[in-house]
Amino acid sequence: MVSEAKGIGEIEEKIAKLVFELGRWMLEAVFAYLDWRLAKRRGKGLRMVGERERNVLTRLGVVRVRRRYYRDEEGRYRFLLDEALGWDKGGMAVTPAIEARALEMCSELSYRKSAKHLSFFLAEDLRHPLLHRLVQERGEERAAEKRQRAQELFSLGVLPPSEKREAERLFLEADGCMISLQREKRKKHEVKVGISYEGWSQVGEDKWRTLGRRACLSAADGGTFLSCWSADLACVYDHSRIGEVIWSSDGASWLARGPDLFTCTHAQLDRFHLARSLTRALGFSCEAFRLFALAKEGKAAEVVAGLEGHLGKAADEGKKKRISEAIAYISSLSAWLRDWKDVLAAKEDDRSPGAIEGNVDKLAADRFKKRGMSWRPSGADHMCQIIELKENGDLGSYVTARRKADEKAAEAAMASLRREVRRNPEAWLRKNMPLLEVRSGDPWVKDVLRVLAGHEKIAC
């Protein structure tokens, strides 16, 4: 290996391939032993029919697993190894660790780039359709769970299991992001983004971060988004123990029922959209800033009067249109103009909501736009579910919890494996891994087996 290598890079590559190959062989042997042990402990009503092979994507690459399948008394075919480890039916199985990391990578990069990076680190040629299918399956499952939870809450009045978190004040912000569609009559579709947080913490000079931030994303219609968001918050907070709820949005039609749905104490127009409306009408002028200050005080009549005065003086048709749009926008949302700090008791370090624009950019625009991407609405919604799980820190736990594994059977088989390896590691190696007999004298192979048996650590 070393004598024929042209440089250290080639040596590194060869060693990596050897280590991964050895790891896959070892893992294949472990799976084979577990399947054999499950066969020995199977119920009386199961009759073994034969064996089938299946690919399993692991942290060591793709492992080809041969496992037994059985027929029960009702005529159903079963794979005990698949059931014990929680592998889904059909296609390539994926272990929880690599599944969570692959989903996280796909939520940040394109499917092709994710497959390219995973192929390098796993020393395995992975194709992007595998990752696309994984995202679609998990995203569809998650979206269905959220819709069912929302239906049970609003149609049947069934409260979901909750962490019962308390909060003195909860801030809610929502906005949308238009994305391009493919193979659809429509060219654009809106991805909805909502965030909740409990306040702010200063992390530097003029730099703040939100506390207890939680995100909700969806490509569904506005009503479904709000219902699912409300049900998700019910899984975290005890509504009766939230002191005040402050709502902030751009006032879009699909967000109109938000303040009532969440029983908000105060609702205000998002300051970014308010300022943008005025600056589009009047430019970045002192008058625009003056009207913006009046709007924050809730003086809608004075703001509208000021805009109407400029409308009468405007000669350009384009400017007249922009001023008229600002008048209509502010008039329709006059009840949302006043800042919450003028209505409720605010602390010294409290700020005005306005984090949603940055969150829309980072959570939605970075993944759905900016790189010439186009989507199907269903595919975008499934990706939204993965991004939401990642941002809320729930991706790993969701991947593990969704598996319907026979933990009792798996633990019994693992206990038998540990006993066998502890008793005689080299004998277990010769019995279960005949392909490695020529290398069984290598000391580092024995060290790996001793670590697997729990005897000692590998010397570095």
Closest CA to 363 of 232, 213, 234, 255: 213
Closest CA to 64 of 33, 31, 36, 34: 31
Pair (215, 271) in one structural domain: yes
Pair (412, 348) in one structural domain: no
Last residue of a domain, one of 348, 364, 393: 393
Count the neighbouring beta carbons within 10 Å of the beta carbon of residue 85. 25
Domain count, the chain: 2
Distance CA 195, CA 209 (A): 13
Question: For residue 195, what pLDDT is reported?
Answer: 97
Query: Is 2 contained in some domain?
Result: no
Pair (421, 369) in one structural domain: no
Closest CA to 219 of 269, 147, 156, 112: 147
> What's the full length of the chain, in residues?
460
Cβ partners under 8 Å of residue 62, min gap 6: 24, 55, 56, 92, 124
Where in the sequence is the domain holding 350, given as residue range(s)?
A: 163-393
Strands 93-94, 77-78: parallel, antiparallel or unpaired by DSSP? unpaired
Last residue of a domain, one of 343, 361, 393: 393
Pair (354, 434) in one structural domain: no
Q: What are 167's strand-pairing partners?
A: 242
Question: For residue 272, what pLDDT is reported?
Answer: 94
Q: Measuring CA to CA, how many Å separate 38 from each of 6, 92, 179, 345? A: 48, 21, 49, 64
Radius of gyration of the chain from its Cα atoms, rounded to whole angstroms:
29
Pair (444, 316) in one structural domain: no
Q: What are phi and psi of 97, to 5 degrees?
A: -65, -50
Query: Is 107 contained in some domain?
Result: no
Query: Do 37 and 73 touch, CB atoms closer than 8 A?
Result: no
pTM for the model stands at 0.88
Query: Is 33 contained in some domain?
Result: yes
User: pLDDT for 83-98, tens place per residue?
Assistant: 999 998 888 899 999 9
Query: Is 154 contained in some domain?
Result: no
Type of residue numbered 130: L
Cβ partners under 8 Å of residue 36, min gap 6: none
Distance CA 34, CA 50 (A): 16
Pair (291, 365) in one structural domain: yes
Last residue of a domain, one of 346, 366, 393: 393
Gap between the terminal Cα atoms of the chain: 21
Count the neighbouring beta carbons within 10 Å of the beta carbon of residue 48. 12
Question: For residue 3, what pLDDT is reported?
Answer: 62
Pair (415, 382) in one structural domain: no
Query: Is 184 contained in some domain?
Result: yes
Q: Measuring CA to CA, how many Å separate 103 from each of 2, 97, 99, 137, 390? A: 37, 10, 6, 11, 9
At 89 the three-state DSSP class reads coil
Query: Is 115 contained in some domain?
Result: no
Question: For residue 420, what pLDDT is reported?
Answer: 84
Pair (227, 255) in one structural domain: yes
Pair (76, 210) in one structural domain: no
Closest CA to 262 of 235, 231, 230: 230
Pair (240, 265) in one structural domain: yes
Tens-level pLDDT at each residue, the chain (460 residues): 566 667 787 777 777 887 888 888 889 889 999 999 999 999 888 999 999 999 999 999 999 999 999 999 999 999 999 999 999 888 889 999 999 999 999 999 999 999 999 999 988 889 999 999 999 999 999 999 999 999 999 999 999 999 999 999 999 999 999 999 998 999 999 999 999 999 999 888 888 899 999 999 999 999 999 999 999 999 999 999 999 999 999 999 999 899 999 999 999 999 999 999 999 999 999 999 999 999 999 999 999 999 999 998 888 899 999 999 999 999 999 999 999 999 998 888 888 898 999 999 999 999 999 888 999 999 999 999 999 999 999 999 999 988 888 888 888 988 988 888 888 877 777 677 644 433 334 454 455 555 544 444 444 4
Question: For residue 10, what pLDDT is reported?
Answer: 76
Pair (410, 349) in one structural domain: no
Query: Is 458 contained in some domain?
Result: no
Question: For residue 447, what pLDDT is reported?
Answer: 55
Q: What is the dihedral of CA 10, 14, 20, 21, to 10 degrees?
A: 150
Pair (186, 279) in one structural domain: yes
